């Protein structure tokens, strides 16, 4: 499974932007108009897709696509180690 592609697809679905418009450096708030509600929608979609649990306190810390991918990969690594 390509985590990067899956995360970008989730962000595109929630934000309404095309996949081609989303880069690793896209700012979720400034570039993709993701507000706190949409950020939670993205987190829930990631939880369902990857069977991980995203901590509520991590959500506001994520500002770019790259950080969202890194966070998900970190959760997947921890999940694999347990």
Rounded to whole angstroms, how far apart are CA atoms 10 and 1?
14
Paired strand residues for 68 = none
pLDDT of the residue at 81: 76
* pTM, 2 dp: 0.93
Nearest to 58 by CA among 46, 50, 48: 46
Q: What is the full per-residue pLDDT of the chain (82 aa) written as tens digits?
A: 799 999 999 999 999 999 999 999 999 999 999 999 999 999 999 999 999 999 999 999 999 999 999 999 999 998 887 6
Instruction: Give the domain ranges of the chain.
Output: 3-81
Rounded to whole angstroms, how far apart are CA atoms 30 and 65?
12
Write down the CATH number for the domain with range 3-81: 1.10.1200.10
């Amino acid at each position: 499974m390509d985590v990067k592609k899956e995360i970008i697809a989730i962000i595109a679905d929630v934000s309404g932007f095309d996949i081609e418009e989303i880069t690793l450096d896209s700012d979720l708030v400034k570039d993709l108009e993701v507000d706190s509600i949409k950020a939670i929608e993205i987190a829930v979609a990631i939880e369902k897709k990857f069977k991980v649990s995203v901590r509520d306190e991590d959500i506001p810390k994520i500002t770019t696509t790259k950080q969202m991918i890194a966070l998900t990969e970190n959760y997947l690594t921890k999940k694999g180690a347990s």
